[in-house]
Amino acid sequence: MKSIVIAAPHSGSGKTTITVGIMECFRRRGLTVAPFKVGPDFIDPGYHRLVTGLPSANLDGWICPPEFVRASFAHHALNADMAIIEGVMGLFDGFGGTADEGSTAQVARLTGAPVVLVVDARGLARSAAAILKGFAEFDPSVRVVGVIFNNVAGDSHERILREAMAQALPELKVFGCIPRDDGLHIPARHLGLFTAEEHPLSDEFLDHLVEVIRDRVDLGLLWGAANPLDAPVPRAEPIPCRTPAGPVRLAVARDEAFCFVYEDNLCLLRRAGAEIVTFSPLRDERLPDDVAGVYLPGGYPEVFADALAANAGMKESLARAVNGGMPVYAECGGFIYLTRGVVDGAGTPESLHEFVGIFPVTTRMLPRRKALGYREVELAADTIIGPAGTLARGHEFHYSEMEEMPADVERAYRVRRGPVDLGMEGYRYRNCLASYLHLHFGSNPELAASFVARCRSYATRSSA
């Protein structure tokens, strides 16, 4: 199995588009491509899944322990011809300024995959070689093998770039030079790109992207450079397999409005004994039959507020489940769906799109980002995902703002950003736990085990 990291000196270099194009090219050649994304992003993995046909796992060395990152990579890359890891931000950008936790460089080192840098050449000539020299020599434990130049102005620009690289860094390969092309931009909105569930990659777009990549990138040279380092990656499972007495059915929301979920969260839930049953709050009239728990991931409920508000059957079904004591875990968009609803711009009562109403607050969208960053959580009480004192890590990213939660609604999370105490969050009503935070169960696999155990207990009581 070959592996490679597609990274960049900074965000906005074009690595997502180029990564998707390379994945699609290798797939069209009949190869099985295992996709990965560094960091906590949800949208890019959706594009990876769209073109490869396989789920894309997030690899994050700050959120998850290094051994979990290695094991997750080995697990999801098993039986693939090639593993392609898309980086995040700049190659060495992570949690802080003095270490590389959470960075693409850390994941490259943990997986043993060589790095190809995508460099935006707009406004650069010979200076591009200086940039690449700095990245190639910054950390000897990270093997940078070459570059793909993006936004190249023409033949003369390409010649200068190649000459500069041949003189200054002959050991690095120039895998390709991609011209400026407005037809290669993926549509975006406030939380980033449109999701894969909304089908933003038309057949025409993919055909054009593949044509450009084939013409401008030496895929054979890239394939040859994608040899892993000598150190073998352990082929281990993410957590020890448990063998409970039969699976417990867990309903997971998956549609255009609820699509932000870590693939390893689902993997860990399955290995803890859950049978994942997907459903659509947009289209289904009620929860699936015989489920003993519900997982409401994040997404774009505000974009689909009209349809969600109109689906009275699903709202009533969820409310009955929560009020009946069923374990329900909700993150960000899933949390918003459990509130009274979303209000339009002016925030008037008449503009309210009514949601499930478990939590007595409304949500409004903001023109600017409200929160972004890594979070660490300590459970302040016994919950459906673990006892008091349990530690977990995750990420927060949203443009919405809720009304202040009433004081009588229990707070179950003590939240920190590094050494900074961000106060209490994680709201609980009966066996329903909801938060703006996306927790990665790989940060503490007991989260998944605890949730499934609580679902199993509910199923046992319900059938008695």
Contact criterion met (CB below 8 Å) for 2 and 228: yes
Rounded to whole angstroms, what are the CA distances from 127 to 73, 122, 144, 162?
35, 11, 18, 12
310 half-sphere exposure, CB direction, 13 A CA radius: 6
One-letter-per-residue 3-state SS of the chain: CEEEEEECCCCCCCHHHHHHHHHHHHHHCCCCEEEEEECCCCHHHHHHHHHHCCCCEEECCCCCCHHHHHHHHHHHHCCCCEEEEECCCCCCCCCCCCCCCCCHHHHHHHHCCCEEEEEECCCCCCHHHHHHHHHHHHCCCCCEEEEEEEEECCHHHHHHHHHHHHHHCCCCEEEEEEECCHHHCCCEECCEECCHHHCCCCHHHHHHHHHHHHHHECHHHHHHHCCCCCCCCCCCCCCCCCCCCCCEEEEEECCCCEEECCHHHHHHHHHCCEEEEEECCCCCCCCCCCCCCEEECEECCCCCHHHHHHCHHHHHHHHHHHHCCCCEEEECHHHHHCEEEEECCCCCHHHEEECCCCEEEEEEECCCCCEEEEEEEEECCCECCECCCCEEEEEEEECEEECCCCCCCEEEEEEEECCEEEEEEEEEECCEEEECCEECHHHCCHHHHHHHHHHHHHHHHHHC
Q: Could you give the angle at which helices 15-28 and 203-216 cross, rounded to 10 degrees? A: 90
- Confirm whether 455 is a catalytic residue: no
Q: Which of 25, 332, 432, 455 is catalytic?
A: 332
Bridge partner list, 115: 5, 144
What positions carry a catalytic annotation? 332
